[in-house]
Structure formats: structure tokens, C-alpha cells
């Protein structure tokens, strides 16, 4: 789905249902992302108008919180843990490898639309660091070689 193919009606419904709540911006952003998988750039003016704030303010909130995406996610989402325990167990090496293997950086999606890469600041798997999760399934003691094996397994399931 390209940025121009987003569902304006779905965005409008989310905005209309939440705009009168106190502190409505975050619930609206979460609602849009929950509905579409990301927050389309074209929704920013709609949100700004409904909340009587500037487009810059809406954009600032979206870009401040790493959770929010501005592009459609891939078919599979990979989270790489960046917390202290994982970092102390060669997590940075894993992070560099994952980015190189996929050819993307955090908050990006592979050209084929299969994988999105996201940082996370704890998967609760500290005893088995470094950890990643793919589509919610957590993997521990992930080496670069194991990362490649996991990717192959996920691709084979498709």
C-alpha cells in the first residue's frame, strides 16, 4: 500500500470518535495506526484541523514517539532489543547485522514489503540476550547466524 492509497474514511472515523476526549492527539494517532498499520502523511492536516493545532505539532508528536510509523509496515515486523542486557551480550553486533542483511534501517521496510525493522527497549528475555521478536514470537541468544536462520524460517512459512 503506498502513501497515496490510505483509507481517508477510516482516518476520519477515528478522528471523529476521539477528537473530543481530553488529550485526544495520542489516542487518535494510536487509533489510526491500529486501524491502518501506520499514520499516513495525508492524515496530518485532518488531525491538526480537528484538534485546532498546527500540522507541525502533529508531525512533532508522530516523530517524537518511535512507536508511530509514517509508512506502511512490512508483512513481518522484526523488533531488535536495544536494552542494556542485550547490548552487553553483543546486541549492537546483531543490530548492525540485521540492518545490513535486510538492507534497511530502523523504521523502514524492505523493498519487497516483507520485513519492517523496529527497535524495542526490552522484550523481557534478558536471561537469553540478545533477543529479537518477529511477529510477536521472541527469540533469545540470537547471533547474526541465528538471525539469518530465523529469517529463512519465516520466509519458508510464506
CA distance 73 to 47: 21
* Angle at alpha carbon of residue 119, lines to 91 and 143, rounded to 5°: 30
CB 140 within 8 A of CB 101: no
**Cβ atoms of 66 and 114 closer than 8 Å:** no
Radius of gyration of the chain (CA): 18
Q: How far apart are CA 158 and CA 151, in angstroms?
A: 11
Asked if omega into 130 is within 30° of 0 (cis), the reply is yes
Q: Residue 127 CB: number of other CB atoms within 10 A?
A: 9
Task: Please state the domain extents for the chain.
Answer: 3-64, 76-157
Q: What CATH number should be reported for the domain whose range is 76-157?
A: 3.40.30.10
Q: What is the pLDDT of residues 70-116, one digit of tens each?
A: 989 999 999 999 999 999 999 999 999 999 999 999 989 999 999 99
pLDDT of residue 4: 59
Over residues 5-15, the pLDDT tens digits come to 799 999 999 99
Q: Quick check: pTM over 0.75?
A: yes
- How much of the chain exceeds pLDDT 90, in percent? 90
Amino acid at each position: 500500500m503506498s502513501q497515496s492509497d490510505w483509507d481517508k474514511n477510516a482516518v476520519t472515523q477515528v478522528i471523529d470518535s476521539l477528537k473530543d476526549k481530553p488529550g485526544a492527539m495520542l489516542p487518535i494517532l494510536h487509533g489510526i495506526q491500529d486501524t491502518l498499520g501506520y499514520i499516513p502523511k495525508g492524515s496530518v492536516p485532518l488531525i491538526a484541523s480537528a484538534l485546532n493545532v498546527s500540522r507541525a505539532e502533529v508531525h512533532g508528536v508522530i516523530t517524537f514517539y518511535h512507536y508511530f510509523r509514517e509508512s506502511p509496515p512490512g508483512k513481518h515486523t522484526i523488533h531488535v532489543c536495544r536494552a542494556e542486557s542485550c547490548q552487553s551480550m553483543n546486541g549492537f553486533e546483531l543490530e548492525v547485522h540485521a540492518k545490513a542483511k535486510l538492507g534497511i534501517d530502523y523504521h523502514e521496510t524492505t523493498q519487497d514489503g516483507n520485513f519492517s525493522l523496529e527497535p524495542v527497549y526490552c522484550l523481557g528475555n534478558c536471561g537469553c540476550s540478545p533477543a529479537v521478536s518477529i511477529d510477536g514470537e521472541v527469540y533469545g541468544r540470537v547471533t547474526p547466524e541465528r538471525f539469518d536462520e530465523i529469517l529463512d524460517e519465516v520466509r519458508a512459512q510464506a
